[in-house]
Amino acid sequence: MNKYVLSVLVENHSGVLSKISGLFSRRGYNIHSLTVGVTEDPEISRMTIVIIGDEYMVEQINKQLNKLVEVIKVVELDTNKSVYRELALVKVTVDMNTKSSITETVNIFRANIVDLNNKSMTIEITGDEGKVSAFINLMKPYGIKEIVRTGVTALERGCKSIDIEGIECKFA
C-alpha cells in the first residue's frame, strides 16, 4: 500500500465536505488525513486528502470526485515536486527535572512552546509527517497528555499552481 496526496479544489459552501467524505465511506475507503481551507478566492476551498491504497483505488476516487458538481479540479501531488507540512500541538507532563531537556528537544526541532505551567507544556511543531512523528516519539517518555494533528497540507513546488483556468507559472 502506498500513500497518495490529492489536492482538490471545491466550491466553498455547506455540504461539500459531507458529500466528499460520503463518497469515501460508501466505497469503504479510509481517509488517512484531511485538511480543508478557503483559498485566495473566498468562493473556493482547497482540500488536501491523504489516502493509503493502490493505484486502482486512487484512480477510482479521482473519477468519482470529478463526477461531483462541486468539485472544480483534482490533482494527485507528486511527493518529489510538492511541499508537505503538518501542524501538531503536543501537551507533555513537565517537572523541574524534565523541563530543560524537553525545552532543548523543542529547540532542536525548531518547535515552539505555546503554553507552560508547573505541570505541563504545550508545544507547537510544524514540518513533514516524519518530523512531527519523530518529535512525538521523543516526547513519549515524558508523558504525553494530549496530541492534536492537523493532517498533511500541501502545495506543488515552483510556480505551477492548481487553479480553475489551469494557467501554469503565471503570476500577476
CATH number at residue 41: 3.30.70.260
pLDDT tens digits, one per residue of 121-170: 999 999 999 999 999 999 999 999 999 999 999 998 888 777 666 545 55
Locate 42 and state its grid cell.
473566498
30 lies in the same domain as 69 = yes
26 lies in the same domain as 87 = no
- The answer to whether 16 and 34 are in contact (CB under 8 A) is no
- The answer to whether 90 and 139 are in contact (CB under 8 A) is yes
Residue 96 resides in a domain: yes
CA dihedral 102→108→111→117, nearest 10 degrees, is: 20
Residue of higher predicted confidence among 146 and 171: 146
57 lies in the same domain as 92 = no
54 lies in the same domain as 87 = no
Domain residue limits at 129: 83-153
pLDDT tens digits, one per residue of 71-117: 999 999 998 899 999 999 999 999 999 999 999 999 999 999 999 99
119 lies in the same domain as 57 = no
Give the model's pLDDT for residue 160: 72
Instruction: Tell me the pTM.
Output: 0.84
pLDDT tens digits, one per residue of 5-62: 999 999 999 999 999 999 998 988 999 999 999 999 999 999 999 999 999 999 999 9
99 lies in the same domain as 147 = yes
Residue 9 resides in a domain: yes
**Total structural domains within the chain:** 2
The span from the CA of 26 to the CA of 71, in Å, is 18
Show the beta-strand stretches assigned E in 25-170. 33-38, 44-53, 71-77, 82-93, 112-116, 120-127, 144-149, 153-156
